[in-house]
């Protein structure tokens, strides 16, 4: 049985540095948001114009292109997302050949091949398309809208998470500045290269889990290996912070960290 009252912590307010709640944590989220939005813009620019053109066109008006063929191209599957990129060509009435590029993106079960014909707009002889593009028009719209929408929602979620983390980190630092900390036992639910998931139960709230983006080399102070209990601290029973072996997040001096480790051994009895 762990006797938490025997764990010795400094009797002074602590200037804590909670992992993942500082500028570096916000910077990582910002990078993810930028990548998501960049991907959304890239997909919209690559596939949006041709989709809008085909959606506004009347498929019944388009006719098979004279000597229409695909010069080069292929369809690739990414799980259930199919990306077809093609270079189409056809012969105009004056005998010259024209080429158009085509990019299609749609949901489907992966196949070995897709059959289609090259078609042309009689009112715009230099505009080529494919029967596949018109057949998959609705799928293309749903796929493009879904991918862009997911990226936007992911960005909004990232902003929300960043704001919540900032607010929690600010409240946590203020709480530790106002009064000395006391030891609490936290349960390490999961640890990976991406951080720790810790189960915490404050005095005035129900137990909940919180993810901490700790450095890969960080190690917790283990109180009970069988029950996965690790050392945490709180100034008020509401704001809780896990403690690393070096005591860096608490801003401890070397002497304070040594006293803390010695008292943990005594508390484990």
Q: Where are the domains of the chain?
A: 4-16+179-268, 35-148
DSSP 238: S
pLDDT confidence of residue 216 = 85
Is 167 exposed, middle or buried, given 0-12, 13-18 or 19+ CB atoms closer than 10 A? Answer: exposed
Q: Count the neighbouring beta carbons within 10 Å of the beta carbon of residue 149.
A: 12
Q: Give the CA distances from residue 75 to residues 78, 100, 103, 172, 223, in Å, rounded to whole numbers and listed in that order.
A: 10, 17, 10, 52, 56
Which residues lie below 8 Å from residue 145, measured CB to CB, with a gap of 6+? none
**R_g of the chain, CA atoms, integer Å:** 30
Q: Count the neighbouring beta carbons within 10 Å of the beta carbon of residue 54.
A: 20
DSSP 250: G
pLDDT confidence of residue 97 = 87
pLDDT confidence of residue 206 = 52
pLDDT confidence of residue 204 = 44
Distance CA 79, CA 3 (A): 53
pLDDT confidence of residue 157 = 92
Phi, psi for residue 239 in degrees, rounded to 5? -90, 120
Q: Is the pTM of this model over 0.95?
A: no
Per-residue pLDDT of the chain (269 residues; tens, 9 = 90+): 788 889 999 989 999 988 887 666 677 788 999 999 999 999 999 999 999 998 988 878 888 888 888 999 988 888 889 999 999 999 887 778 889 999 999 999 877 778 899 998 877 767 899 999 999 999 999 999 999 999 999 999 989 888 888 888 889 999 999 999 999 999 999 988 888 999 875 444 455 788 888 888 899 999 998 889 999 999 988 889 999 988 889 988 889 989 999 999 998 87
DSSP 202: -
């Amino acid at each position: 049985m762990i006797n938490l009252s025997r764990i010795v912590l400094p009797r002074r307010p602590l200037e804590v540095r909670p992992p993942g709640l500082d500028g570096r944590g916000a910077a990582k989220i910002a990078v993810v948001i930028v990548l998501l939005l960049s991907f959304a813009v890239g997909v919209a620019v690559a596939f949006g114009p041709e989709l809008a053109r085909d959606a506004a066109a009347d498929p019944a008006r388009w006719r098979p292109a004279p000597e229409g063929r695909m010069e080069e191209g292929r369809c690739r599957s990414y799980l259930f997302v199919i990306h077809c990129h093609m270079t189409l060509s056809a012969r105009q009435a004056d005998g010259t050949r024209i080429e158009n590029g085509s990019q299609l993106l749609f949901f489907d079960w992966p196949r070995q091949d897709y059959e289609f014909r090259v078609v042309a707009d009689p009112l715009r002889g230099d505009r080529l398309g494919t029967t596949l593009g018109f057949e998959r028009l609705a799928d293309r719209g749903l796929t493009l809208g879904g991918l862009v929408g997911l990226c936007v929602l992911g960005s909004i979620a990232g902003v929300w998470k960043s704001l919540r983390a900032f607010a929690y980190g600010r409240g946590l630092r203020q709480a530790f500045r106002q009064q000395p900390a006391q030891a609490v036992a936290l349960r390490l639910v999961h640890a990976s290269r991406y951080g720790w998931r810790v189960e915490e139960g404050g005095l005035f709230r129900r137990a909940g889990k919180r993810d901490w983006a700790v450095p890969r080399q960080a190690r917790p102070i283990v109180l009970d290996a069988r029950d996965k209990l690790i050392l945490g601290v709180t100034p008020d029973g509401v704001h809780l912070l896990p403690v690393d072996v070096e005591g860096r997040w608490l801003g401890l001096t070397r002497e304070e960290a040594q006293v803390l480790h010695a008292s943990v051994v005594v508390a484990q009895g």
